[in-house]
A and B are shown apart, each in its own frame.
Chain A
Amino acid sequence: MVTIEDYVARIEETCGEERDFIVLFKYDKKAEAIAQILKRAKIERSISAIIFELTFKDVSFRLYGTGKAIFRNLRDKGQLQNVLIDLLL
């Protein structure tokens, strides 16, 4: 069974007052993860087709072509896990 661990290498909770989460996708799965996310989330803005401003179920995040994404204003890691499940699986 496919899980988000198949796509995600690491999740970093940032330090600073903004408790953002940075998701780092596995190198060999990043293209697949990005394609899947772009299919499901709403693209608010795209910069040179390498940086995407996205929204998904009231969650705003930015996705980078390098295979990293920054999720803002989430309650906790649990909410992030649920969002990732809905985006990737």
Chain B
Amino acid sequence: MLDPYKIREDFPILKRKINNYPLIYFDNAATSQKPRQVIEAIKNFYENHNANVHRAVHTLSQEASELYEDAHKEVANFINANSMEEIIFVRGTTEAINLVAYTWGCHNLTKEDEVIVSLMEHHSNIVPWELLSKVKGFGIKYVEVNNDGTLNYEDFENKISKKTKIVCVSHVSNFSGVVNDVRKLAKVAHEHGALILVDGAQSVPHLPVNVKDLDVDFLAFSGHKMLGPTGIGVLYGKREILEKMEPFQGGGEMIRDVSFDFTTRRCSITWNDLPWRFEAGTPNICGGIGLMEAVKYLRRLGMENVKAHEEMLTEYVMQRMQESQKVMIYGPREASVKCGIIPFGIDGLSSHDVALFLDNYGIMVRSGFHCAQPLHEIFGLKSSARVSFYIYNTREEVDRFAEVLKEIEQV
């Protein structure tokens, strides 16, 4: 098991007081805090190695390029990809999904095709497909969610057909924390000749994720939710699929050759190798290096330990929350089917009231739709408050949270 008290020593921000109370950070599904190792790695890069990558022969550029490539390799190892060629650095999960939609989707989807999306998706795995559908004319089928917030696998099997070209689904719901059986979904998708794109924003930071074992075609995730800096994320893609895809954006870095033909008076272009073909322009070098350090930190802890710690906290908080009369927990009550995310409401109070009240006592939780409006509508919720854990949260913090909840009930 993890020792969250030892881990906390690495997180300078957790020493802060908010409104004279010790900070309790329970908004990890939105973004995680950063350990000093990540902060130091970014500082060290700018103080000692800063240069553009893949551009020059000088020493600093060589060092920066090596670090940036090492970051790709570290991430590849972390999710068990075959090589760094399958790891594309992007701004975050949203950009990763848009990359797939506007490159693979634009060239492979027609009016006769269908895309399957689940109703538990974050808006970032709904909106790109709805936007592209308006241009390309393909259909979108939404997979229903059961009353307890789990995915309706029967509905998925009923909706998938030979017309389905891609299945887009989250590994873990950012609203309920429900963990989907991605391996099962991938198997069914492949049996129908479809690809599967998995939104791993809420799974990669919290669970062991092995792309070979899950057999996913694309996996998108963000660095900032897993101890890394903002503005860096990852698109994993199977090499054979990425190799056939057209580039996402044009510019430097993604090309090998741009030559001017004096007869046609046009330029002919050959693309760079993977993964640089999909990383146009100067990339977020220090973001990648920060992410590498974050991945190293998580690997030292062990992802099985991270998962077990969050499961323990989830079980404990749900037990404590049920002591309150007016608190309603949404979604499944079994910690084993969830991943450290607990949406809830308090009878008679809006989620924003709850969040402001908790903020008053130094407890940070999210309120609103959490970018998952369709799921709220299905549950008949106007909005929800959400607790989400990470490696540095403790049972003591849960106790404090439960005490404040009891105070809120008196409002």
Q: Point out residues on A near B: beta carbons under 8 Å.
A: 14-18, 20, 22, 47, 50-51, 62, 64-66, 68, 70, 72
Closest to A21 in B: B352
Q: Is B271's beta carbon under 8 Å from chain A?
A: no
Are B353 and A62 interface neighbours, CB within 8 A? yes
- Residues B360 and A66 in contact, CB atoms below 8 Å apart: yes
User: CA of A47 to CA of B376 in the docked complex: distance in angstroms?
Assistant: 31
Q: Is the CB of A16 within 8 A of B369?
A: yes
Judged by DSSP, the binding face of A is loop
Cα–Cα, bound, A20→B369 (Å): 13
Contact of A14 with B360 in the complex, beta carbons under 8 Å: no
Whether the Cβ atoms of B360 and A16 lie closer than 8 Å is no
Q: Are B382 and A16 in contact (CB under 8 A)?
A: yes
Contacts known (A47-B411, A64-B360, A68-B359); A14 close to B367, Cβ less than 8 A: yes
How far apart sit A68 and B357, CA to CA, in the bound complex (Å)?
Answer: 10
Residue contacts A-B, CB under 8 angstroms, 6 given = A18-B352, A22-B356, A50-B360, A64-B359, A65-B360, A66-B19
CB within 8 Å for A20 and B359 given contacts A14-B367, A47-B411, A66-B19: no
Residues of chain B within 8 A of A16, CB atoms compared:
350-352, 367-369, 376, 382-383
A36 to chain B, nearest CB (A): 20
Complex contact B383–A17 (CB within 8 A)? yes
> Do the beta carbons of A70 and B382 come within 8 Å of each other?
no
Q: Which size bracket describes the interface of B in this complex?
A: 10 to 19
- Beyond contacts A16-B351, A17-B383: 5 other A-B pairs, Cβ-Cβ < 8 A, are A15-B383, A16-B383, A22-B356, A64-B357, A64-B359
A17 near B382 with CB under 8 A, answer yes
A14: chain B residues within 8 A (beta carbon): 352, 367-368, 383
What mask results when residues 368 to 411 of chain B are scored 1 for a CB within 8 Å of chain A, else 0? 11000100100001110000000000000000000000000011
Q: Which residue of A lies closest to B373 (CB)?
A: A15
Q: A14-B368, A15-B383, A16-B369 are in contact. Are A62 and B356 (CB under 8 A)?
A: yes
In the complex, residue of chain B having the shortest beta-carbon distance to the beta carbon of A20: B352
Q: Report A18 CB to chain B, min CB distance, Å.
A: 5
Which of A15, A18, A47, A68: most chain B Cβ within 10 A? Answer: A15
List the 5 closest A-B pairs by CB distance, nearest first: A16-B383, A17-B382, A15-B368, A16-B368, A15-B369
Kindly list chain A residues whose C-beta atoms are within 8 Å of the C-beta of B357. 51, 64
Shortest distance between the CB of B357 and any CB in chain A (Å): 7
CA gap between A20 and B382 in the complex, in Å: 12
A16-B350, A16-B351, A18-B350 known; A70-B356 Cβ under 8 A:
yes
Bound CA–CA A15/B384 (angstroms): 10
Across the interface, which residues of A come within 8 angstroms of B411, CB to CB? Answer: 47, 51
Establish whether residues A72 and B350, one from each chain, have CB atoms under 8 Å apart when the complex forms: yes
Measured in the bound complex, the distance between the Cα atoms of B381 and A62 in whole Å is 22
B residues less than 8 Å from A18 (CB atoms):
350, 352, 382-383
